[in-house]
């Protein structure tokens, strides 16, 4: 039990996802810190960073730092963190979560699927993942079992399905392992690159 989850991750996930001490592959986002406030912040600031979606073929989410400013980024990251929060972890800031959800529902659901949005975009026209359970065990399991599901990455997905590659017990171990990565330092992404000068 102490080593098998990491071995399964290295075998099935480390061929694409970087994790310090396990794999340095860059075909998908680095998972050190995944589910943490810091990882969520990095992603909102610069989603196409080489440690995040920059090595994938999905490049249509622009950096959000200039649009949301520091406080908005912090609020959205806190809302994301709260989606996978479990007792024993640092509790989410309730006021930030409320503010972050309002921003997310108003500004992000033009592309992202999910409940309670205020966007006028039809649900069928949204092709970004549903983040309502981001970072939770259910979210991780869904991404591993069927990342191409409509509520995940849909037709744009390039990650293989693992529905028949792992037993239920092994799947649980991998989910537990990825959950444990929340405690690790996330990629240090603090700002998107400057736009080129005309």
Give the angle subtended at the CA of 152 by the CAs of 183 and 63, to the nearest 5°: 65
Flag whether pLDDT at 8 surpasses 70.
yes
CB atoms within 10 A of CB 190: 10
Residue burial 108-145, b: 16+ Cβ < 10 Å; e: rest: bbeebbbeebebeeeeeebebbbbbbbbbbebbbbbbb
Evaluate whether 65 touches 54 at the Cβ level (below 8 Å).
no
For the chain, the distance separating the N- and C-terminal CA atoms, rounded to the nearest angstrom, is 56
Residues 6+ apart with CB under 8 A from 198: none
Residue 26 banded pLDDT, cuts 50, 70, 90: confident
Residue 127 banded pLDDT, cuts 50, 70, 90: confident
Q: How far does CA 23 lie from the centroid of its chain?
A: 18
Question: What's the mean per-residue pLDDT of the chain?
Answer: 90
Residue 121 banded pLDDT, cuts 50, 70, 90: low
Tokens, residue 1: 């039990």
What is the pTM for the complete model shown?
Answer: 0.90
């Amino acid at each position: 039990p102490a080593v098998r989850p990491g071995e399964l991750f290295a075998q099935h996930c480390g061929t694409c996802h970087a994790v310090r001490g396990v794999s340095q592959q860059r075909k998908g986002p680095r998972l050190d810190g995944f589910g943490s406030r810091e990882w969520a912040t990095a992603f909102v600031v610069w989603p196409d960073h080489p440690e995040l979606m920059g090595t994938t073929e999905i490049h249509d989410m622009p950096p959000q730092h200039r649009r949301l400013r520091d406080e908005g980024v912090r609020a959205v990251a806190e809302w994301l963190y709260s989606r996978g929060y479990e007792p024993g972890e640092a509790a989410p800031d309730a006021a930030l979560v409320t503010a972050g959800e309002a921003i997310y529902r108003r500004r992000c659901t033009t592309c992202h699927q999910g409940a309670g949005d205020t966007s006028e975009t039809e649900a069928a026209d949204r092709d970004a993942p549903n983040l309502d359970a981001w970072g939770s065990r259910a979210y991780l399991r869904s991404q591993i079992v069927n990342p191409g599901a409509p509520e995940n990455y849909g037709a744009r997905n390039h990650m293989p399905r693992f529905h028949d590659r792992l037993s239920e017990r092994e799947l649980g171990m991998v989910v537990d392992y990825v959950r444990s990565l929340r405690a690790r330092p996330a990629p240090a992404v603090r700002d998107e690159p400057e736009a080129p000068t005309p």
